[in-house]
Amino acid sequence: MSNAVLDIKDKPTPLQLVTLSFQHMFAMFGSTILVPQLVGLSPAIALLTSGIATLFFLLITKFQVPAYLGSSFAFIAPIILAAGGLNDDGSSVHPGNAMIGAMAVGITYGIVSLIIWKSGYKWIMKILPPIVVGPVIMVIGLGLSGTAVNMAMNVNGEYSFLHFSAALVTVFTAIIFTIFFKGILSTMPILMGLIVGYIYSMIVDIVDYTPIAQAKFFAMPDFLIPGVHYEFEITTKILLIMVPIVIVTISEHIGHQLVLGKVVDRDYIKEPGLHRSLLGDGLGTFVSAIIGGPPKTTYGENIGVLAITRVYSIYVIAGAAVVAILLSFFGKAMAVIATIPTAVLGGVSILLFGIIAASGLRMLVDNHIDFGNSRNLVIASVILVIGIGGAKFVISESLSVEGMALAAIIGVLLNAILPGKKEADIPVQYNQNKDS
């Protein structure tokens, strides 16, 4: 794209900086706070760390890549699994385990970025072709579908039509904003779905306002510091649950850099280089985990805002990060988020998880994957059934690889060893509007 209103290094006016920064913050807000709500972490910490991670990313990429980092949906199931599940109140049982795993993910990003710096990037394209990554992305969305529907329909394990109606209002609102609205509003359907679903929930009286009344106007986010709030103990089990997911998220990162480069008319794979952007993503995830936030990824919603507004200024992205950091300390605002009914979260999850699954399918279509070829059919079939079916490879009583992680590993192995592999340097393509 061309004819930028504000290019990468252009400075906006004070009024432009404030309005455009809030615009980017709202675009990522719904998805970024949804992840911690689903995995039992603090929305305030997720918001705080999204801002911090984005600033680190901008620094590492030499202030050349206008990307915003938000919570990654690819790690929802692994975080819950690593943390040992959720308590009755929705909080994580052992959140420290998930944070240790997220730190390992950040370090893995760093190792891969170092290898790319020394040897180039084409090798990773061959390890992670669309026939592997597409089905794994489908597993992410479809594997969470049961969770979304359960949240939408059930209260304390029992069906509730009233709550399900709130979920339906939420999901149809998000659909309407996705399909029928243009411009900025079309880039934030999750946020609009949450807002309308919350208002409907207030009308039908399923919102508990107690947390809002008890909250302070200004409050510190709930930090999770290793050695302070949990014992720092790295186990093979945690690593096997969390680290294999980088097979998907690194591919997602490459796709976002390609799409972003097209939007702003730059080649980010070459300058500042894939190794720098990947390192920035990994450092953002590591720093986030150090204080209790979920893993991070560049957000397609914000790329969509860049494409619509043609404002590419790095100052605006940094401004959005600062706004997110400041908002995380507003206790009353965070308390309102805590009162969002589970049914409303389930409603947006139905659409979002479905879109994630569909984006994996779209990747296969965009890359012209031929399922008349038995090799492709076998790889995709095995990945889907192992991932969605929850297959488990038990190494010992306390050690196993399962679900999405196992599916991703087997997919890479099958692609490497099955005959008939077609070598290609064509990078993986992604849906630029949604994140996995």
Give tens-digit pLDDT for 325-344.
999 999 999 999 989 999 99
User: Is it the case that residue 223 has pLDDT exceeding 90?
Assistant: yes
Task: State the DSSP code for 47.
Answer: H
- pLDDT level of residue 425 (50, 70, 90 thresholds): very low
pLDDT at 392 (0 to 100): 86
Q: 234 — phi, psi (to 5°)? A: -85, 125
Q: What per-residue string of b and e applies to 59-88 under the rule 16 or more CB within 10 Å gives b?
A: ebbebbbbbbbbbbbbbbbbbbbbbeeeee
pLDDT at 1 (0 to 100): 52
Average pLDDT in the 105-110 region?
Answer: 97
| Average pLDDT over the chain, rounded to an integer | 90
| CB neighbour list of residue 14: distance below 8 Å, 6 or more residues apart | none
User: Is it the case that residue 431 has pLDDT exceeding 50?
Assistant: no
User: Is it the case that residue 266 has pLDDT exceeding 80?
Assistant: yes
Listed by start position, the domains of the chain span 12-418
pTM for the full model? 0.85
Half-sphere exposure of 348 (CA within 13 A, CB side): 28
Dist CA 358 CA 430 (whole Å): 11
Give me the percent of the chain exceeding a pLDDT of 90: 62
Give tens-digit pLDDT for 271-290.
999 999 999 999 999 999 99
Give tens-digit pLDDT for 178-204.
899 887 788 788 889 999 999 999 999
Query: Do 187 and 299 meet the contact criterion of CB atoms below 8 Å apart?
Result: no
E-assigned strands of 217-320? 296-298
* DSSP result, 414-425: HHHHSS------
207's torsion region: left (phi>0), alpha (psi -120 to 50) or beta? Answer: beta
Give tens-digit pLDDT for 138-168.
998 898 899 899 999 998 889 999 999 999 9
Q: 92 — phi, psi (to 5°)? A: -75, 140
Give me the percent of the chain exceeding a pLDDT of 70: 96
User: Is it the case that residue 435 has pLDDT exceeding 60?
Assistant: no
- Tell me the two tokens of residue 244: 């294999």
